[in-house]
Amino acid sequence: MSATPLLEVRGLSAGYGTFQTLFDISFDVHPGEAVAIICPNGAGKTTLLRAISKQIEATRGALVFEGRDYTRMPAHEVVSLGIAHVPEGRRLFPRLTVADNLRMGAFPRAARARCDERLKEVHRLFPRLEERSQQLAGTMSGGEQQMCAIGRAMMSGPKLLLLDEPSAGLAPVMVQTMFELVRQIRAAGYTVLIVEQNIRQVLKVVDRAYLLDAGQLRRSGSAAELLESDEVRQVYLGVT
């Protein structure tokens, strides 16, 4: 693991209007690792990813990517930094084909020149998307749509991939497949920051994790340490 963080979040506070949901959040993500933010629903996980990708403005704190402070950068420039956000709910264009949805992900100028190359990489990781290339995205299953959403983000050539609840709303059999896909994305060399409620599964595919509760980071450690933690096992996994 590189000694220099890829992403540094420093004293981040954020919310919506007068309602604050994050309080003084600080953590790092290093190149080549997968980090999970594990939390119960409503703990601020989606707000955190939105603040990192600048979909909302932080009320306090700093965001640093590859040593560059981008706290005040306009949201539309963040993708060009190398940060791609796969939102909860997928947010595909349902009346466009799978192929067109994927190509929409290559809109940054630097990504357009490598669109065909990246499309081959996405098809290698997600063969089903190549099979469904001319199908309307809105007619696919939930799992296939999630693959398409992740593939679209990968088309920009991200250095950091933000995944917001990739298993949400999927059938149980597809949940297992989705976490296996996360493992494959890791193996392909992508750096991943993932927020998840499915704690048991996500801790099997990441290196480290942070526990977010009531808008604050309560503890951190390796995935193995948190899986063995009595607090996590009793409160979040229901194991006594």
Query: Is-above-0.85 flag for pTM?
Result: yes
Confidence (pLDDT) at 27: 97
In the chain, % of residues over pLDDT 70: 95
Confidence (pLDDT) at 237: 64
pLDDT digits (tens, 9 = 90+) for 30-62: 999 999 999 876 668 899 999 999 999 999 999
Is the residue at 31 inside a domain?
A: yes
What stretch of H or E contains 172?
helix 172-187
Is the residue at 111 inside a domain?
A: yes
Give the pLDDT mean for 75-87: 92
The rounded distance, in Å, linking the Cα atoms of 121 and 119 is: 5
Confidence (pLDDT) at 138: 94
Q: How many residues does the chain have?
A: 240
| 78 and 99 belong to one structural domain | no
pLDDT digits (tens, 9 = 90+) for 5-25: 999 999 999 999 888 999 999
Sorting pLDDT into bands at 50, 70 and 90, what band is 169?
Answer: confident
Q: Are strands 191-196 and 34-38 parallel, antiparallel or unpaired?
A: parallel
| 75 and 87 belong to one structural domain | no
The rounded distance, in Å, linking the Cα atoms of 120 and 134 is: 15
Confidence (pLDDT) at 124: 93
pLDDT at 151 over 70: yes
Residues forming beta bridges with residue 115, ordered by sequence position: none
| 107 and 226 belong to one structural domain | no
- By residue range, what is the domain housing residue 47? 1-82+159-165+191-240
Give the pLDDT mean for 229-235: 73
CB burial of 35-58 (b: ≥16 within 10 Å; e: otherwise) equals bbbbbeeebbbbbbbbbbbbebeb
Give the pLDDT mean for 154-172: 92
Final residue of a domain: which of 101, 135, 157? 157
Report helix, strand and coil shares of the chain as percent, to nearest 5. Answer: 40, 25, 35
91: left (phi over 0), alpha (psi -120 to 50) or beta: left
Confidence (pLDDT) at 205: 94
| 122 and 196 belong to one structural domain | no
Q: 54: Cβ–Cβ under 8 A, 6 or more apart, which residues? A: 63, 70, 73, 74, 75, 78
Residue 19's domain is classified under what CATH number? 3.40.50.300
Give the pLDDT mean for 99-124: 88
Sorting pLDDT into bands at 50, 70 and 90, what band is 159?
Answer: very high
The rounded distance, in Å, linking the Cα atoms of 34 and 209 is: 9
| 229 and 206 belong to one structural domain | yes
pLDDT at 234 over 90: no
Nearest to 35 by CA among 235, 233, 212, 167: 212
pLDDT digits (tens, 9 = 90+) for 182-192: 999 998 899 99
Final residue of a domain: which of 135, 157, 179? 157
Give the pLDDT mean for 114-132: 93
Mean pLDDT over the full length of the chain: 90
pLDDT at 109 over 80: no
What stretch of H or E contains 25?
strand 19-29
pLDDT at 84 over 90: yes
Confidence (pLDDT) at 230: 80
Sorting pLDDT into bands at 50, 70 and 90, what band is 239?
Answer: low
Total count of domains within the chain: 2
Is the residue at 183 inside a domain?
A: no
